[in-house]
Structure 1
Amino acid sequence: MSTPSPAAPAPGQRNETVVVLALSLAAMVVSMMQTLPVPILGLIRDDLGVSTADVSWVTTATLLSAAVFTPLLGRFGDQHGKKPTLVAVLGVMVAGSVLTALASSLPLLILGRVLQGAATAIFPLALSVLREEIRPQKLPGAMALVSGTLAFGSGLALVATGLLTSGPGADYRDAFWMATGLAVLALLAVLVLVPATRTRTGGRTDFLGALTLGAALLLLLLAISQGQEWGWTSGRTLGSFAGAAVMAAVWVVTELKVREPLVDMKMFVHRPVLMANLAGLLVGFGMFASFLGVSYLVQMPEALTGYGFDASILRASVQFLLPSAVVSLLASPLGGRIVRHRGPRAALGVAAALGTGGFAWLVVDHSHAFSVIGAGVVVGAAVSFGYAAMPAVIMSSVPPHQSGIANGINSISRSTGSAIGSAVVTTILASRTIEHLPAGVPPLPAESGFTLTFAIGAAAFALVALIGRFGLRAGHRPAAAPARPAAAGPAASAEPVRADAAG
């Protein structure tokens, strides 16, 4: 009877690369769903014969759906199995993508977008799978790569949509058929390449906690995303903000009283977790401020405004946005190395420095293509480093059975930051317009609006620096995690990555 060579890798270790690639693909496709319709909202509006206010729900619906389903499905995956939940969520995304491609009315299109938004839960589920399947020395890099695909996918969707809809007679449905193909590919990759997870906590699903949290997030994001259209001082906007505050209080009371809460309040307010969520909010804000600010800036007609590059959607996507998206993906392995060798605190510090510098560059000079592209590349790298750091902070600070819900909340913080970024950019550019334009020309933003947008982006990343420096103190110790059985995977006996390793 022969014995295996001691040098032979364990079966789980042989499959680490394909697992990471499959989950990276799934995360990239999900992030693409969020920004994919942004360049084609005008085409959708004209084709379906709806108003600008109505067509904005094509993006808002996905954001609201993600807010409701991500924490619930993250926790459900921890309790009942991560792979089955991943497969089910990807199946829903495929169905939603087909519906959006076939929809002949706005309500059906919005329903499809709701189904696509539910797939945002893939990201926290993917990180939980990595925690089980990847060896501890490889885990920071794997999490950084999966996290890096979020910024890459968001930018790639803008570019791909611009390419598909650049010619005469363009049909916006081509973008959604592309999304369908990518969703099917992601589903097959996870189904075939990702092993069945072994750790399930079981227990009851806290539907009341999910309902109250979902209601609070829905009201908050509704007010943020529709505030510009409704008016920031209108009854609907203020009522939504007030309702969000009330439901947040109800959610906290609910979670403190139920036996098996959706979110452990002690975990939620645990300092490193709380700081990671604040950082997620700010980095998400910065990412969208860069995407939207640069996209709008370069499309401005220079003859009318005195600035801008007269870029088409295609040129704006390929020349000005694609480099940032590519660099964000290429930077993710480097972010993983920084996390592994210096700790997530150092990675967050690098992200803050790059983000502040990139936006400051745009404030000083946004009249040359080199500066706009170069600053965008720097901000793209900053977002990638930030996204690499946050999961590492969370994984080092919560026990394994809470990793899904903890990363789900962090995902929502980034989505909320993106929504705030979109609202802030839209509000600033709408409130600062050029006074004297030829008759018949719609209002166009003044250059000062873009300068202010980029200055606020720099301030957001400066706050990330403060979080990294003072929020993640050198004296921090990760929250104790219960012992895991030996069969729980390659990382079962691993010590978590220290959130203060750079301190």
Structure 2
Amino acid sequence: MRSPAAVRPGVLVSGLSVVVLTVAVLQTAVVPVLGVIGSQLGASAVAVSWAVTANLLAAIAATPLLGRLADMYSKKRVLLGVLIVVLIGSVLAAVTSSLALLIVARVLQGASYALYPISVAVLREELPPGRLPGAMAVMSGTLGFGGGVGLVVVGLLMSGDADYHRVFWLTTAFTVVVLAIVVFLVPARRSRSAGSIDWLGAVGLAVGLSAVLLAITQGNGWGWFSGWTLACALGGVAVLGAWWLWENRREHPLVSTRMLTRPAMLLTNLATVFVGMGLYFVFLGLTQFVQVPRSGAGYGFGATVLESSVIFLLPGALTGFAVALVSGRFIDRYGARRVLVAAAMAGVLGFVLLAVAHDQRWQIIVGGILANTYISLGYGALPALVVAEVDAGETGVATGMNAIARTVGGSMAAAVVAVLLGRSAPGTGVPMESSFVVVFVAGAVTAALALVLIALTRPRQREVDPDALTHSRAMNHEWG
């Protein structure tokens, strides 16, 4: 195993970018094949939707705890433990033909969401402060464009009459590669963070967030004012309220409530919710729009899954990748706040274009490129704002909570899209064109709200620690 000094910063950043790409691949790969899973397993759409819901619930429950464990113990060991759980889930999903076991597998894969905050914590521990924002931007931007890549790859993989199991064999192979990257590239260091694990706080946060997320994801199927939906929503809010009071009294809380209520942190996490919504508005909205047959509906392009992936989604995904590679330089030069404001402006422009001009292929492609630029830059710059607000020992749990904000935003957007596109045009059996317009307008509105929130943030003023400054200079000299 390599020593820490043997791994160059560029190699470490590249390796961790592939690690966090796992999150995006596992999150989006299953979405295009839900219908295939239902038909091949003879299950209803409601039952199959639990393959997504269970994954989100597991992620939102486990991410803060795993982030805290990484802050307290060896980040490399926690990364390896998470990846082993994900690998077991991928193999189980690839070999089973039982929906119940597939849902169990997706629960295990939900641990992958913790890879992102732990990787950010590794970067903070290994890189000199001056290089941290740019490195995080590259890694986080990769996470942003990875969702589009996942949809494109699955579209190519599932062309023709394909078995859905091949998607999970792909995730299995990818996880094995990522395991090797962590083994050989991530340095093994002992954490210097003190404290203990607040297990009751972890359970309370998991139960409260899961109940609220369950109401969001299942509200359309259960009915937004049904007993189940209201019970989950109100019960979740009550549990989170009790959790907040509990954490306020703890000497070593799972999550510092003071940290979460700092104005800059609060506004950044709210902005992250809106950016997470934008990701799903563009992916779900565009994917379904281009597949609508124009002959019957008067709009759309009648694209197959393969055509929608290669022609309409791939340009945006490639743009997101290119933006992720250069976003670090922009953030180093102009600062994360300015980059986020520019990104949100691109997002507003892209979504407005999709809403008002979507009759030609080039309009869809250009709108998708602008929206992907927004998502990639947003995912790249938001963690820089979060890390700037917390101490080193809080990095994992703080970025974990930020990841939860993104997950909640995505879930809310998915629920909104499901409601809007559930209305069929008379005599066509496909969604009304106006529903897609509302989806794209919602994307523009959330991008504008993210812009306003980021513009209002003010960085935390820190006192300079002479010992930390000496360490920073030594690290800069070491890395050259």
- The TM-score normalised by the length of structure 1 is 0.91
Give the drift of 1:119: 1.4
Give the drift of 1:325: 1.5
Provide the residue aligned with 1:501 in structure 2. none
Structure 1 424/247 Cα, relative in aligned 2: closer, same or farther at 3 Å? same
Moved more, 192-201 or 457-466: 192-201
Q: Aligned partners of 1:78, 1:482: CA distance in 2, in Å?
A: 21
Give the drift of 1:203: 2.5
Matched AA of 2:60: A
Provide the residue aligned with 1:272 in structure 2. 264
Cα displacement string for residues 17-47 of structure 1 (whole angstroms, at most 9, x for unaligned residues): 2211111111001211011111111111111
Provide the residue aligned with 1:3 in structure 2. none
2:422 maps to 1:435: no
Pairwise mapping of residues 18-417 of structure 1 onto structure 2 (< 5 A)?
18-168=11-161, 170-417=162-409
Asked if 2 retains the 8 angstrom alpha-carbon contact of 1:289 and 1:425, the reply is: yes
Structure 1 415/481 Cα, relative in aligned 2: closer, same or farther at 3 Å? farther
Q: Aligned partners of 1:288, 1:491: CA distance in 2, in Å?
A: 43
Matched AA of 2:444: A
Q: Aligned partners of 2:467, 2:259: CA distance in 1, in Å?
A: 19
Structure 1 176/111 Cα, relative in aligned 2: closer, same or farther at 3 Å? same
Matched AA of 1:272: A
Structure 1 490/35 Cα, relative in aligned 2: closer, same or farther at 3 Å? farther
Matched AA of 1:290: V
Matched AA of 1:35: T
Structure 1 289/152 Cα, relative in aligned 2: closer, same or farther at 3 Å? same
Cα displacement string for residues 446-473 of structure 1 (whole angstroms, at most 9, x for unaligned residues): 0000001100110000001111222x13
Q: Aligned partners of 1:368, 1:484: CA distance in 2, in Å?
A: 60
Cα displacement string for residues 406-429 of structure 1 (whole angstroms, at most 9, x for unaligned residues): 000000000111111111111111
Asked if 1 retains the 8 angstrom alpha-carbon contact of 2:118 and 2:396, the reply is: yes
Matched AA of 1:362: L
Provide the residue aligned with 1:444 in structure 2. 430
Matched AA of 1:181: A
Give the drift of 1:487: 10
Cα displacement string for residues 199-234 of structure 1 (whole angstroms, at most 9, x for unaligned residues): 331431111111111111101111111111111111
Matched AA of 2:157: L
Give the drift of 1:11: 6.7
Structure 1 249/346 Cα, relative in aligned 2: closer, same or farther at 3 Å? same
Give the drift of 1:329: 1.6
Give the drift of 1:283: 0.3
Give the drift of 1:485: 6.7
Structure 1 302/225 Cα, relative in aligned 2: closer, same or farther at 3 Å? same
Q: Aligned partners of 2:230, 2:462: CA distance in 1, in Å?
A: 38
Q: Which has the higher helix share?
A: 2
Give the drift of 1:261: 0.3
Structure 1 294/331 Cα, relative in aligned 2: closer, same or farther at 3 Å? same
Aligned length: 475
Q: Aligned partners of 1:493, 1:246: CA distance in 2, in Å?
A: 48
Provide the residue aligned with 2:460 in structure 1. 477
Give the drift of 1:444: 1.3
Q: Aligned partners of 2:438, 2:172: CA distance in 1, in Å?
A: 38
Matched AA of 1:281: V
SS of the aligned residue for 2:346 comes to helix
Cα displacement string for residues 167-194 of structure 1 (whole angstroms, at most 9, x for unaligned residues): 23x1000010000000010011011111
Q: Aligned partners of 1:266, 1:318: CA distance in 2, in Å?
A: 46
Matched AA of 1:328: G
Asked if 1 retains the 8 angstrom alpha-carbon contact of 2:22 and 2:112, the reply is: no
Matched AA of 1:175: V
| Structure 1: runs of 5+ lacking an equivalent | 1-9, 438-442, 495-503
Asked if 2 retains the 8 angstrom alpha-carbon contact of 1:399 and 1:481, the reply is: no
Give the drift of 1:296: 0.4
Cα displacement string for residues 381-403 of structure 1 (whole angstroms, at most 9, x for unaligned residues): 11111112111111111100001
Give the drift of 1:60: 0.9
Provide the residue aligned with 1:457 in structure 2. 443
Q: Aligned partners of 2:27, 2:411: CA distance in 1, in Å?
A: 11
Structure 1 ranges of 4+ moved more than 6 A: 481-494
Q: Aligned partners of 2:476, 2:65: CA distance in 1, in Å?
A: 28
Q: Aligned partners of 1:73, 1:185: CA distance in 2, in Å?
A: 21
Matched AA of 1:70: T
Matched AA of 1:63: L
Asked if 1 retains the 8 angstrom alpha-carbon contact of 2:277 and 2:409, the reply is: yes
Structure 1 485/84 Cα, relative in aligned 2: closer, same or farther at 3 Å? farther
Asked if 2 retains the 8 angstrom alpha-carbon contact of 1:140 and 1:337, the reply is: no
Matched AA of 1:239: A
Q: Aligned partners of 2:338, 2:440: CA distance in 1, in Å?
A: 24
- The TM-score normalised by the length of structure 2 is 0.95
Give the drift of 1:15: 1.7
SS of the aligned residue for 1:201 comes to coil
Asked if 2 retains the 8 angstrom alpha-carbon contact of 1:151 and 1:325, the reply is: no
